[in-house]
Structure 1
Amino acid sequence: MTSDAGFQNSTTNARSKPLLILHAGTHKTASTYIQERLHLNRDLLKQQSITYQDPCFDRPKAKKLAGELCKYREKRWRRMLSNHKQDQHLLLSAEQFSVPLTNQKCIQNLEELANNFGFKLHIVVFIRSQLDYINSRYIYSLRRFYHSQTFEQFVSDAIEGEMHSEWQQRGRITRRQDVFNFWTYFQPLIEAKKSGLKVSFIPFQQNGNDPFQDLITTIGVAHNQTWEQCTSRHFNRSPGTRGVWMARLLSQKLRENKISTRSIDNSSQIILREEQQRRWMDPAFWGYSRRLKNQVIKHFKNDNDKFAKAAWGTSWTTAFPDDIKLLQRKKQIYQPQSIEEEETMHAITIHLLRRIRHKIKPKLHYRIVDPLERIANFLSPSISLRTIRYVKIHLLQLGKP
C-alpha cells in the first residue's frame, strides 16, 4: 500500500527522468525526526542517486521554497534546479509544503517547473488518523498559546472545519482550515493524482512502522541499507497532562493581559521547560471521552473511506488498523485534587506570565527580581507573589534619591 516506488534502480539512466521528490509532512507526522535522519544519511542517499536538499548545508532551504510556491514565484526554484546534477534525484522535505499543495494553481506551477527542468515530480504526504491527529494538534496549538479552548471545544471546531493558528494567510494563499478532513483538504492533490501526477499518501505509524523507513520505501530506495539513527531530542516532545492544563490557563492569562503570542520569543518551549525544571513526569494527554471518540469517527467515516479508496484503493479501517487501539485508550487529563494544589498551579502560571512580560519589556531591576521570584516559586509557589512584591518595593526605595 505504501511502497509506491519512486524508482527501481539506484542510478538514473538516460531514458528516464530524475525525480523531484517533495516530502510535504503533514504537520505532526514526525517531520523533524525524518529530516534529521535524512541529514545523517545524506551520503548514503547520494550513493543511491538521491541528493537531499539539506537545510544545514544547502540553500535555498525547503521552507523558503514552500514560501515561494505560496507567492507564485519561481526564481529560487529555477536557480536550484538549474544547478542540480542531472544524474541525481532531488529530495526536499518540509511540512510547509502541505499548504501550497492544497492549492491547484501551486500544484500545476510546480509540475510545469519540474518538467521544464527535466524532472518527474513525486509528492509524498503522511496521513495521521483523526483521533490521534486532533489530540496532537490540540496540544501543539495550546502550548503555542494560539487559543485557550477546552478539548471538547477544539474537537467541535475541528469537526466544523475550523483550525486555530496565528497565520491565516501564507503568501497569496489563504490557509485551508479543514485540515482534518483529508478528502476535502487534499482534493487538489487527489485530482492531480488522477491526472497522472505521482502522489504517495502514507498512513502514519501504523503497526509501529518507522516513518523514515516508510518514506525511504515509498521513494524506492534499496532496503538493505544500514541507516544512521538520530538521538531522541529530534522527536518532538509534547507536554504531559499538567503541562497541557497549565498551557490553557497561561493562554487565558495572556489574553486577559492583551499579550500577543507573536511578541513571545520561542513560545512553544515555555511549558516544556517548566515541566523539565520541575521534573514533572506526567502521562501523555488524551482528551477523548468515549462519546467524543464516537462523534469524531462517525463524522469523518464516509469521507475517510472515499479518501482511502482514492489514495490506496482500500478502506480506511484497512489502512488504519491502529484506530482500534485508539478507541480503547482511556481518557488521560489533569485536574487539581485540592484547593491548595490549584492555588499552586495558578501561582506557577502567574510566575510564567510575569517572566513573559519582563522579557517583552525588560527593566533593570527585573534582573534581580526574576531569579529571586523563581527561587521562591520553586520553594513555595504560594508565597512567591508576596516575596516578589516585597523585593520590588525595597529595590524601588533603594533607587530613590
Structure 2
Amino acid sequence: MAIEHQLSAEAGSKFNQLCALRSNDIADEACSHVRAFPLLNQAATLAPNVPATHELHFAVPMTGAVLWTLNARLDSAMLSVLLLSHSEARIVFVDYQLLEIAQGTLDLLTQKTDTKPPILVLIAVSEGSSDTSPTICTSNTYEYGSLLETGDGGFEIRRPRSEWDPISVNYTSGTTPRPKGYRGAYLNALSTVLLHGIGSMPVYLWTVSMFHCNGWCLTWGVAAQGGTNICLRKVNPKHIFDNIVQYNVTHMGGAPTVLNMIVNSPVSDWRPLPRKVEIMTGGSPPMPQIVFRMEELGFGVNQLYGLTESYGPGTYCSLKPEWDSLPSIEGSKLKARQGVQHLGLEEVDIKDPVTMESVTPDGNTVGEIMLRGNTVMSGWLGSGDLAVKHPDNYIDRSEGPVERYNHIRGREHKYS
C-alpha cells in the first residue's frame, strides 16, 4: 500500500489488489482513446513521490507498456527533447504541481512536429490537502482519479514475453549537457532488497526520487516484501522524523545531502526514533563524521555505490561485527566506503582504464570502477568514477586518495 504524508486515509486497500485495479482502469481507459496500447508502447510520468507514481510502476508494465520516469527537476525545453527524440510516449501522467511545466513541454512538441501530442492525465490534489487543483479544459486531458473510475475490472494483464523485455527507461542525473537514457529489463530488478536487508512487511519512507532508477528499484522491491510505502512530496527533516514516528518506519534511502540535512537540522525537528531505521545512502561518499552523527540519532547507515546503468546500487559496504569495537570515527570511516558487489553482480573491480589491469589493492592506487553482471549493460561498464581498493577488497571513493591522484595528474574529476 502507499500512504501520502499528512493524509488521513490510505491510498488503497491491500497492495496487490490496488495495483491490479490501477492497471485495469488505466489500461482500459487509455486503450479507448489511443485505439491500442500494444506491447512495448510507451507511457511517461512527471511527478514527485506520491502514491500515483508508485502505483504506475506496476500499472503501466501490467498493460504491456514501458514506463518512462521523467525527471521532475527538468525544464520544459529538456523534457520536450526527451519526449520527442526518445520516448514518443502516447500518454503522460502529470502531477498538478508540475502541470505548467508539462503544458510548456507539450506546446514545444506541437511547434516542433506535426505528431499528435500525447494524452495528458492529471494527478490531482489528494483528498485532505489544502492545495487546489488547477483547471484544465482540453479534449486531450483527463484526471487520474476520474479515469480509474471508468476502467474495466475484467482487463487481462499483459505479461512480459521474457525477463529481457524492457520494464522502464530512466535517465542519468544530468552530469552531461543532455541526460542519457537507460533501458531496464524485468531481469534482476530486485537486488536492492537483498543488499538493504529488507525483511517481510517493511515500512519504507520515500526520500529517494522514484524517477531516479525507479527509486533504486525499491518501487518493486518493497512490494515484493509486502511492505508499506510512505510517500513524501518534499523532503525535509521535520517530515522525515514525523513520519518515522507516526508509521514506525523501518527503512529509507537518500543521497548524502539528505543525511547532511538531517544532522544539521534544528534540534526542535528531531524526535526519538521508535526503532533503528536503516538508511541507504549513495552518490558522493558521505563524510565519516556524518555517518557517526546519524548513528547517534538512531539510524543505521548503509553505504552504496551505483549508476543508472546498473539499476541504481551495485555495491554496498557490508558491515563487519569487529568494526563495532573500534573507536567511533575510525569505524565510521570504514562504514563510509563503497564496499563490495551485491549478489546480482558478477564482479566489481578497480582497473587502469588504459591497460584494463586491476590496480593493486593497497588503498592508495587509484583506478576506475568497473562492473560486470546481470544488472549492467553487456560487457564491462566503465563508470568513469575514480576509486581505490583496500586489502580487504572494499572499494573506496573517499576524497583523500582521489584528490592526491588528481593533484599529481593535474586533472579535475567530479563524482557522478
- TM-score bin (small chain): 0.3 to 0.5
Which structure dedicates a bigger proportion of its chain to strand?
A: 2
Greater share of helix residues, 1 or 2?
A: 1
Q: Structure 2 length as normaliser, TM-score?
A: 0.31
Higher relative contact order (CA 8 A, sep 6+): 1
TM-score when normalising by structure 1:
0.32
